[in-house]
């Protein structure tokens, strides 16, 4: 199957291993991965801050970059996936662009949802020894409704003991620019998140949104907690 890969800004600039492993995973599962070279930021930070008008040129640029074919567009980040899926609403006053946005947004899919629901794969043959907790990001679970797919894949990773912890599905406090605008509140939220997850005594923290992992991972590091933070693509490519 031919697919497009939407790398996201964080994947491109900060977490290249996550991006690489996402592509390698798709290829391992039989996909031919196309990388639209003109892709750019989805505009999520601006949208999240209320700068919709200012974000429109970037939205249109990304739409144009993803129109070269009709392949599924796979993203390893729920927040960016949801942002693109929201484009038709933001472009409603421009019918031609709204239609183009509809076509692109309909092809946007989260990595784990695509693997489980489209490829029909629940066991990718991964192996990782240790105790782990999974953080269900808000965009992925609440906005996209992707809840069980990541867990299904993780439960089939050989050697991985998946643990639960109190208030597991609460927000980590990142919330895009919320962590900047409301830094004190955000700080308390991630502090509580780390308090709960450390009760499970994990060796790994796993998530499907890098932004959340950076936030929680930063708190873990500041507290001196020896927990390895991994995107689910990295886990699924572990052997």
- 127 and 159 Cβ atoms separated by less than 8 Å: yes
- 232 and 151 Cβ atoms separated by less than 8 Å: no
- Tell whether the model's pLDDT for residue 163 goes beyond 90: yes
Nearest to 85 by CA among 102, 97, 69, 65: 102
Q: What is the pLDDT of residue 14?
A: 80
Residues 146 and 204 in one domain: yes
The parent domain of residue 226 ranges over 122-236
Residues 105 and 170 in one domain: no
Residues 41 and 85 in one domain: yes
pLDDT per residue as tens digits for the range 186-229: 889 999 999 999 999 999 999 999 999 999 999 999 999 999 99
Residues 135 and 152 in one domain: yes
- Tell whether the model's pLDDT for residue 179 goes beyond 80: no
- Tell whether the model's pLDDT for residue 58 goes beyond 90: yes
Q: What is the pLDDT of residue 80?
A: 95
Q: What is the pLDDT of residue 181?
A: 77
Residue given tokens 């497009």 in the structure block: 4
Residues 25 and 83 in one domain: yes
Q: What is the chain's mean pLDDT, rounded?
A: 95
Q: What is the pLDDT of residue 86?
A: 97
Confidence of residue 15 (pLDDT cuts 50, 70, 90): confident
Nearest to 101 by CA among 43, 179, 172: 43
Q: What is the pLDDT of residue 21?
A: 97
93 or 182, which is more confident:
93
Residues 160 and 177 in one domain: yes
Confirm whether pTM is higher than 0.75: yes
Domain count along the chain:
2
Percentage of residues in the chain having pLDDT higher than 70: 100
Residues 24 and 49 in one domain: yes
pLDDT per residue as tens digits for the range 77-102: 999 999 999 999 999 999 999 999 99
Q: What is the pLDDT of residue 174?
A: 87
Mean pLDDT of 44-61: 94
- Tell whether the model's pLDDT for residue 35 goes beyond 90: yes
Q: Please say which residue of 78, 95, 116 terminates a domain.
A: 116
């Amino acid at each position: 199957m031919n697919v497009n890969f939407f790398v996201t800004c964080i994947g491109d600039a900060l977490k290249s291993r996550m991006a690489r492993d996402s592509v390698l995973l798709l290829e391992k599962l039989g996909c031919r991965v196309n990388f639209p070279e003109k892709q750019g930021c989805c505009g999520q930070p601006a949208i999240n801050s209320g700068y919709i008008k200012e974000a429109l040129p970037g939205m249109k640029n990304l739409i144009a970059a993803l129109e070269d074919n009709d392949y599924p567009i796979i993203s390893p980040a729920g927040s960016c996936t949801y942002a693109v899926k929201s484009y038709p609403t933001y472009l409603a006053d421009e019918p031609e662009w709204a239609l183009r946005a509809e076509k692109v947004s309909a092809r946007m899919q989260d990595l784990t949802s695509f693997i489980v629901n489209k490829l029909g794969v629940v066991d990718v043959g991964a192996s990782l020894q240790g105790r782990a907790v999974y953080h269900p990001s808000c965009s992925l679970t609440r906005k996209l409704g992707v809840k069980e797919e990541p867990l299904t894949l993780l439960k089939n990773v050989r050697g991985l003991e998946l643990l639960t912890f109190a208030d597991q599905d609460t927000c980590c406090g990142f919330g895009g620019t919320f962590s900047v605008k409301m830094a004190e509140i955000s700080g308390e939220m991630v502090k509580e998140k780390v308090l709960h997850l450390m009760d499970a005594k994990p060796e790994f923290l796993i998530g499907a949104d890098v932004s959340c992992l950076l936030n929680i991972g930063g708190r873990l590091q500041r507290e001196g907690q020896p927990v390895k933070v991994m995107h689910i693509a990295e886990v699924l490519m572990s052997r």
